[in-house]
Homo-oligomer: A and B are copies of this chain.
Amino acid sequence: MKEDLKQYIEENKDRWLEELFELIRIPSISSKEAHKDDMYTACDWIKASLLEKGADKAEVYETEGHPAIYGEKMIDPSLPTVLVYGHYDVQPVEPLDLWKSKPFEPEIRDGKIYARGADDDKGQMFMHFAAFEYLVKTNQLPCNVKFMIEGEEEIGSPSLGKFMEDHRDMLAGDVILVSDTSMLSAENPSITTGLRGLSYVEVHVTGPNRDLHSGLYGGAVANPINELCKLIGSLTDENGKITVKGFYDDVEELSEEERKEMGRAPFDLEAYKKSLDLKEVAGEKGYSTLERVGIRPSLDVNGIWGGHTDKGAKTVLPSTAHAKISMRLVPHQDSKKITQLFKDHFLSIAPDCVKVEVEFLHGGEGYVSPTNTTEYQAASKAYELTYNKKPIPVRSGGSIPIISLFEKILGIKSILMGFGLESDAIHSPNENYPLTQFFRGIETIPHFYQFYTEMKK
């Protein structure tokens, strides 16, 4: 397979890029009502693409939110079935002025595709479409393949649980294959074996019932921005610990041995700081940078706003202030429980001079997968064939809440074969995806199918 696969990629790469660019051009931002129609356009495109690449059937399914696509090619019920998961929705693109090229007009610069979704997840998802095409067109598909593509990953997949419950039989399979994570670096392949959970809330602080003149009232009436800052400032202490009562109750402390094993991952702190233009890193005392994102929870303000945010010096004491706050959770921390703990804590520390509300936006559970499974071993061998290096198992700080949902509802384990790089700037301006990673992904996936099927026999 190895040689003809390389040749097939070489012969089809330009067409694949054109196809991917078509998909990228559809601005399917799931969090914005204005893009509702774009979600359907993307679905129709994916359905057509799957059929074109060799699926026996492909359908767009309405859900309670944005539609999902299911496709399949069943060659023999006695063979294993790989269920490929991907998502066609993307993050918002603001701030637009920081983009060097337009987010929905993909451009190749310095060997990288620049666009929103170039990596997350349109680019990584499309690698599976291309690999599938290769396997079908060259008659080398070794097993059954199913595709489950959703349009709500970036907003917490609120409708996917019900979709899976409603279609358990249709979605039945042996393993779920997901490319929505990244590798340690282009030279150091890795497989994500852990993900953090998420609890994402929005808080609202209200002071006086209208904007006031900060001269006539300043000092006598609580300013909701000052109060919000005090509240947020108190959520972490001087050791970088989160102060929400009960927050660490279910956090598993890893053994010294496990931490030592994790510490073997190549990591250059100076290069990391340099790439981010940071004088110092920060975080929970007593843990390394990789541990801080891999095995420890975190609390970040993702957005804050209030008062006069335009140019100039408006002397207003505003009526309200707002913030979006998310907590990344480690396995065993239940996101619903944490959300409730946060809410209780935040309301309990709010002073009488303001009104405080906590609104739940979304959440999901963390995930840890063992490395002694068939799928991990098959993935490991597939990476090794492409990269000439055995991949390292790592715990990522990100969240794909649906991974734990897959196991809960469908009873299927997932294998996270990500090809993204840290420098891909996903969720940021100038998101990009290196062409080498894109094509190496397409090269690795068919080998996974092959090894997995062989090992399952």
Contacts and interface: CB of A to CB of B under 8 A. Distances in A.
Interface stretch (A39-47, A165-173, A423-431): A423-431
Contacts of A226: 232-233, 235-236, 299-301
A414 interface: no
A22 interface: no
Contact of A210 (B236, B301, B396, B429): B429
Interface of A: 31-33, 91-92, 94-95, 98, 154-156, 182, 196, 198, 200, 207-223, 225-226, 228-236, 240, 276-284, 289-290, 292-293, 296-318, 321-324, 326, 328, 351-353, 355, 361-362, 396-399, 422, 425-430
A213 B398 contact: yes
B32 A311 contact: yes
B315 A198 contact: yes
A317 B233 CA distance: 16
Contacts of A222: 278, 280-283
A430 B209 CA distance: 13
B233 A289 contact: no
Contacts of A361: 312-313
A219 B235 CA distance: 13
A276 B314 contact: no
A353 B229 contact: no
A221 B278 contact: yes
Given A155-B312, A303-B306, A324-B308, A219 B353 contact: no
Could you say how many copies of this chain the assembly holds?
2
B303 A352 contact: no
A303 B326 contact: no
A182 B92 CA distance: 46
A405 B91 CA distance: 52
A428 B217 CA distance: 13
A425 B198 CA distance: 42
B277 A200 contact: no
A304 B322 CA distance: 9
B307 A396 contact: no
A215 B229 contact: no
A220 B300 contact: no
Contacts of A301: 223, 225-226, 229, 306-307
Contacts of A276: 208-210, 212, 221
A218 B397 CA distance: 7
20 contacts: A198-B215, A210-B276, A210-B430, A214-B302, A215-B328, A215-B396, A220-B397, A225-B301, A225-B323, A226-B300, A228-B229, A230-B233, A279-B352, A282-B351, A301-B307, A302-B317, A302-B318, A303-B318, A305-B305, A313-B324
